[in-house]
Amino acid sequence: MQLARRCLWCLLVVSLLPGLASPAGADPADVDAEIQYLAELIRGDPSSRQAEIREQLVWSGIQDERVYDPIRDEIMQNYRDAAEATSSQLSWLVEILALSGMDAYRADLRTVAAGAASAGLRDRARQALLTLDLQAERNPVLSAGLAEAPPG
């Protein structure tokens, strides 16, 4: 019962993220709480919820360092590690970092693309640079549009 309640709570919170992406569309305290929740979710054990987390970030337009700086730090501390498990997790984190659309992370993604121990991680970082460009255009539109969108 406790797990079911927690899952329902998580689904509710995740479903609210797009509506809270813009401070103009919600109380700033609520936005801060949701950003903190998302940051903790990503830092936790996100392996079972990767698709859900990715989908929320793609469509929410969230651009907040509190979410993305810890991801960048994790990537930069470990990208030279050749272990398969590490490369797999870092590949996912590189993809999430690109969803920020924030130019502040471009140099980090280039560093990983040039110097990662894993060829797969280098490839993912190169792809992430393209995603970063796309999300840089989309995120402001998404977050502005969501503030004005009708409920539901």
Question: How much is the pLDDT for 15?
Answer: 41
* pLDDT digit string, tens, across residues 131-149: 999 999 998 888 776 555 5
CA-based nearest residue to 33, from 73, 4, 5, 64: 64
pLDDT at 20 over 60: no
Helix (H) or strand (E) run with residue 143 in it: helix 119-148
Question: How much is the pLDDT for 47?
Answer: 66
* pLDDT digit string, tens, across residues 114-133: 999 999 999 999 999 999 99
Q: Which residues touch 5 (CB under 8 Å, ≥6 apart)? A: none
Contact by Cβ (8 Å): 20, 145 = no
Q: How far apart are the C-alpha atoms of 49 and 52, rounded to whole Å? A: 5
Contact by Cβ (8 Å): 121, 79 = yes
3-class DSSP state for residue 113?
helix
Query: What's the pTM?
Result: 0.72
